[in-house]
Amino acid sequence: MDSTTAEVAYYFAPFLRVYTDGHVERLQGTDVVPPAMNSETGVSSKDVVIASETGVSARLFKPNSVNPEKRLPLLVYFHGGGFSLCSPYCSIYHDYLTSLVLEANIIAVSVDYRLAPENPLPAAYEDSWAALQWVVSHCNGQGSEPWLKDHADFQRVFLAGDSAGGNISHNLAVQAGVEGLGGVKLQGICVVHPYFGRKSEDDVGNDDNTNGGRPDVRPGVDNRWLYVCPTTSGFKDPRCNPAADERLWRLGCSKVLVCVAEKDGLRERGWFYYETLGKSGWSGEVEIMETEGEGHVFHLFKPSSEKAVTLMKRIVSFINQE
């Protein structure tokens, strides 16, 4: 049976279909923009392989004009897409990182982690941690990548991501707080419209974007979380519920920016994360910004809009403020 006649086993509308024969059809984020040196955008980009055995790779970005006497903040970025879609190479994320690098005058590493359902969680977390360890290996002039060795300031490192990428950023910051990052200083993380579980264990919610999937919907989590992480414990899984993580107070950075949008279905989860972090005993500072009248990751699809520009400026300020 080929995928033209196979039935749909899981549908994350309008993004992803998985058929009963195992075929995965991604409906967004599959285009590829080639990297470009000395681009007319003012930003150069190139691709690197981090772990050939797993296929983990990344796209690096730097401003075309770099003062060799001045090191730049380093941003490690994790794309969104429900752990199942997109890559650093698709136009949405290539264009966004290009704009962010230009506006903030930073070096950026945009991580390409393995996607579910072919590679269910924790693959994305493991790949992202491996990528961060690769970045850290360039501290003190070591490592093989000259853009990092020659231009990155390892005392001003940030993690950021949107949606699932925001979730990854948070979880890596917790792991960094527990395990350490050598001589690297993780100053902050920026989570934009982050994907977490619901606020209450009694909240089943409506999975409007999911038809099919697993029938055993557990309180406090989405069908799609259960689908991408089949070994999850559900609402008590600290990866999707920071309030269930006894290590939260050890978050390995000094500041966090949470960005939410008024019409985003994940808005309450972003506020829940902000409130939970503030009560955790963590010694850092957490800020929150809400954009009125906009939905989930609006800034990626309307990058020139006034509100997207405002959000960009807030993120740039967060990275560059001393």
Kindly give the pairing relationship between strand 255-261 and strand 186-192.
parallel
Concatenating the DSSP letter of every residue in 227-278 gives: HH-TT--GGG-TTT-GGG-TTGGG-SSSEEEEEEETT-TTHHHHHHHHHHHH
Residue in 138, 264, 280, 299 annotated catalytic = 264
Residue 298, φ and ψ in degrees, nearest 5: -55, -35
Distance CA 161, CA 320 (A): 17
**44 part of the active site:** no
Residue in 79, 170, 193, 296 annotated catalytic = 296
Q: Which residues contact 218 (CB under 8 A, 6 or more apart)?
A: 226, 234, 235
Residue in 45, 128, 163, 169 annotated catalytic = 163
**163 part of the active site:** yes
Expressed in angstroms, the distance from the first to the final Cα of the chain is 59
**296 part of the active site:** yes
Residues shown for the chain: 322
Say how far residue 216 (Cα) sits from the centre of its chain: 27
Q: Which residues are catalytic?
A: 163, 264, 296
